Amino acid sequence: MHEFLAQLINGISLGSIYALIALGYTMVYGIIGLINFAHGDVYTLGSFFSLAILGLLGATGELHGPALVIDAGLALFGAALLCGIAGVLIERLAYRRLRNAPRLAPLITAIGVSFILENAMQVWKGPSPVPFPAILPNPAVTVAGVAISLQQFVVVGLAIATMLALQLFVHGTRVGRAMRATAQDRDAAQLMGIDINKTIAITFLIGSALAGVAGFVSGVYYQSTWFFNGFGAGLKAFTAAVLGGIGNLAGAMLGGFLIGIVESFATWLLGGQWSNVAVFAILILALVFRPSGLLGETLPEKV
């Protein structure tokens, strides 16, 4: 039972990272129908940027008091901002021209962008995993006999706060409404005077910034990062987005937590070497049997 709860908490922590990444996938797919294959690498980029910023600040170990708040805050916001800019650049340089191309062209391009980013990060920090400073103090709280670390609190807390902010933004602001309108019907939105290019750019900005937050969070959580992390994490987050019904923000978060929990339990029950098999099996099952999400419904193509 303790082990069960511990794994559940593990899964939720893991899942909150996937959920943050999944939001970017679902927003971009919702608005331009593209599986932004490079999104996972933007997430890794987030870890690398946080790492670089912490390095600049000289934060190599546990931080306390104001230093903790300032350094961690700078790393977090810096990573989010830089990733957001990276996302906008990627959209502008690689995807925009292909907006009306056959559907596979942008996907192939996105895979290309992913490889370029991975290679850049590999050159930047080398081919092996890189340690990430353990900036958080590590007192664990014991709840019902299960130890929960401060990292886990911070990870889940930050993720939930970010998601709430996103919901408020999408539903409460003009830009958010423009995003939703564009996702629903691009032509109609354009007729109503919405600047499509700007709206899509903002979508990439926000989605990529969220990946940046996830990158920071995962660095803090795992205390390590690797240029190739984004490949697996990206696929899992994409699975989460599909499970939640692509285009659906709340669904993506839910899917993220679900995938995190599945991975954590698969690791526990089947062993680490099978956890990826389990998650990819879910990816396949979800895409094959519930392509419109756990709750969605499919209508036949209009002819």
Partner 1 sequence: MIYIYFLAAIAVVVVAERVPSVGAKRALYAALGAALLLAPLVDRNDSDYNVLADAGVFVLLALGLNIVVGFAGLLDLGYAAFFAIGAYTYGMLASPQFGIHLPFWVLLFVAAALAALFGIILGAPTLRLHGDYLAIVTLGFGEIVPQIFQNLTAYTGGPNGISALDFPSFFGHSFGQRALPYYYVTLALIALGLALARNLRESRLGRAWMAIREDELAARHMGINTTLVKLSAFALGASFSGLGGVVFAAKLSLVSPDLFQFQVSVLIVSMLVLGGMGNIPGVVVGSLVLTLVNSVVLPQANALASAVGLHVDFSSYHFFIYGAILVGIMLFKPEGLLPSVQRREELRHATAPQDVRA
Partner 2 sequence: MPLLELDAVTKTFGTLVAANGVSLRIDSGAIVAMIGPNGAGKSTIFNAITGIYAPTAGRIVFDGKRIDREPTYRIAAAGIARTFQNIRLFSFMSALDNVMVGEHARLRARLWDSLLHTPAQRAEERETRERARELLAFVGLERLSERYARNLPYGSQRHLEIARALASSPKLLLLDEPAAGMNPREKHDLVALIRAIRDRGVTVLLIEHDMGLVMELAERITVLDHGERIAEGTPAEVRRDPHVIEAYLGAPAP
Give yes or no for residue 174 binding ligand ADP (CB under 6 A). no
Helices (H), 57-149: 65-90, 104-125
Closer Cβ to partner 1, 177 or 290, answer by number = 290
- List contacts with partner 2 (CB under 8 A): 297, 299-300, 303
Total residues interacting with partner 1, rule: CB under 8 A: 42
Residues 6+ apart with CB under 8 A from 232: 40, 276
What is the smallest separation between the CB atom of 94 and partner 1, expressed in angstroms? 6
CA distance linking residue 108 with residue 118, whole number of Å: 15
Beta strands in 112-231 (DSSP E): 130-131, 140-143, 146-149, 224-225
With CB cut-offs between 5 and 8 Å by kind, which of partner 1, partner 2, ligand ADP, none does residue 70 bind? none
CA distance linking residue 87 with residue 285, whole number of Å: 29
What is the smallest separation between the CB atom of 251 and partner 1, expressed in angstroms? 16
Give yes or no for residue 299 binding ligand ADP (CB under 6 A). yes
Q: In angstroms, how far is CA 140 from the centroid of its own chain?
A: 26
Cβ count within 10 A of residue 177: 15
CA distance linking residue 303 with residue 185, whole number of Å: 18
Give yes or no for residue 165 binding partner 1 (CB under 8 A). no
Give yes or no for residue 94 binding partner 1 (CB under 8 A). yes
139-147, 152-160, 268-276, 295-303 -> range binding ligand ADP (CB under 6 A) = 295-303
Backbone angles phi, psi at 10, to 5 degrees: -55, -50
Cβ count within 10 A of residue 33: 15
77-85, 177-185, 271-279, 294-302 -> range binding ligand ADP (CB under 6 A) = 294-302
What is the smallest separation between the CB atom of 271 and partner 1, expressed in angstroms? 8
Q: Which residue has the tokens 């014991």?
A: 142
Rounded to a whole number of angstroms, the CA Rg of the chain reads: 19
What is the smallest separation between the CB atom of 39 and partner 1, expressed in angstroms? 13
* Residues binding ligand ADP (CB under 6 A): 299-300, 302
* Residues binding partner 1 (CB under 8 A): 34-35, 94, 97-98, 101, 103-109, 111-120, 122-123, 127, 231, 235, 238, 273-274, 276-277, 280-281, 283-284, 287-288, 291, 301, 303
